[in-house]
């Protein structure tokens, strides 16, 4: 499998060249184009009983239906994220946590599970849920805006809307930004305090801020 990242950094896509018998698993709706002989199989991202299915559907905030593209002979698949931004390829060897909206594609051998980060995530209004990806192989993540890669050792604070992914060596807790005055009037909301040692991927834009901007710009409803 060979993965090329095209049109970086603003409107990136992933071009996946598959050899005979190879497959790539991608989020539902990511397909841009593909060779005519590529086969598609649609299935839930998780297996293992009713509880895991409910966990994925309700805690993850996603449908978690994914498409697996298989090449009976050599071919290509082009994958595009929903939001305009960057795409990065990770050669996974272990475990990484990815914001659910930032997952684009992965080797089918990589195990995908959800990690519920706690009830505080509901108050942030940002659907802060992570996919836990474990195994070995290529993983493709996407962002809204550009991606900044940080090597954290110690502590680091990130606005929750800017998190893309982080390695297993980092632990985090969700807390409000500053005091209550800053929280309600400063426009920041919740942040994640990371502790430990590992790599952290963040994005230069965040979707909640975009949604707030649109709501402010829309004309008021007529009574």
Q: What is the DSSP string of 23-92?
A: EEEEETT-EEEE-TT-EEEEEES--SSHHHHHIIIIIS-S--EEEEEE-SSSEEEEE--SSSB-EEEEEE
Give dist(CA 95, CA 98) in Å, integer: 10
Mean pLDDT across the stretch 182-192? 61
Alpha-carbon gap, residue 4 to 24, rounded angstroms: 13
The answer to whether 127 and 102 have CB atoms below 8 angstroms apart is: no
Q: Tens digit of pLDDT for each residue in 102-142?
A: 999 999 999 988 765 543 444 444 456 788 999 999 999 99
Q: Is the pLDDT of residue 19 over 50?
A: yes
What is the average per-residue pLDDT within 188-207?
89
Give the mean pLDDT of 14-33.
96
Q: 113 with 219: CB under 8 angstroms? A: no
Residue 57 has pLDDT above 70, yes or no: no
> What's the CA gap between 20 and 75, in Å, rounded?
8
Taking residues 27-37, what's their average pLDDT? Answer: 96
Mean pLDDT score across all residues of the chain: 83
Residue 51's pLDDT is what?
Answer: 41
**Residue range 30-44: average pLDDT?**
94
| Average pLDDT over every residue of 2-12 | 95
The pLDDT of residue 58 is above 50: no
Q: Residue 64 — left, alpha, or beta (φ > 0 → left; ψ -120 to 50 → alpha)?
A: left
Position with higher pLDDT, 52 vs 77:
77
Q: Which two tokens stand for residue 156?
A: 């680091």
pLDDT band at 27 (very low <50, low <70, confident <90, very high): very high
Q: Are 91 and 138 in contact (CB under 8 A)?
A: yes
pTM: 0.81
Give Cβ neighbours of residue 151 (< 8 Å, ≥ 6 apart): 198, 199, 200
Fold of 48-65+83-217: Double-stranded beta-helix (3.60.160)
* Average pLDDT for 65-72: 94
């Amino acid at each position: 499998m060979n993965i090329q990242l095209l049109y970086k950094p603003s409107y990136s896509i992933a071009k996946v060249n598959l050899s005979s018998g190879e497959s790539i698993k991608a989020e539902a709706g990511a397909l841009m184009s593909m060779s005519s002989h590529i086969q598609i199989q649609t299935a839930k991202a998780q297996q293992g009983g009713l509880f895991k299915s409910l966990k994925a559907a309700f805690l993850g905030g996603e449908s978690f239906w994914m498409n697996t593209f298989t090449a009976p002979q050599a071919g290509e698949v082009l994958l595009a994220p929903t939001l305009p931004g960057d795409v990065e390829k990770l050669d996974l060897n272990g475990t990484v946590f990815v914001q659910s909206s930032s997952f684009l594609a992965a080797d089918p051998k990589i195990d995908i599970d959800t990690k519920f980060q706690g009830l505080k995530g509901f108050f942030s209004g940002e659907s802060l849920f992570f996919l836990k990806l474990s195994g070995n192989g290529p993983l493709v993540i996407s962002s809204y805006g550009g991606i900044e890669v940080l090597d954290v050792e110690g502590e680091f604070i990130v606005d929750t809307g800017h998190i893309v992914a982080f390695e297993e060596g980092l632990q985090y807790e969700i807390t409000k930004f500053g005091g209550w005055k800053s929280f309600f009037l400063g426009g920041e909301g919740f942040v994640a305090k990371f502790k430990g040692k590992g790599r952290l991927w963040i994005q230069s834009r965040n979707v909640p801020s975009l949604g707030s901007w649109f709501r402010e710009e829309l004309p008021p409803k007529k009574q």
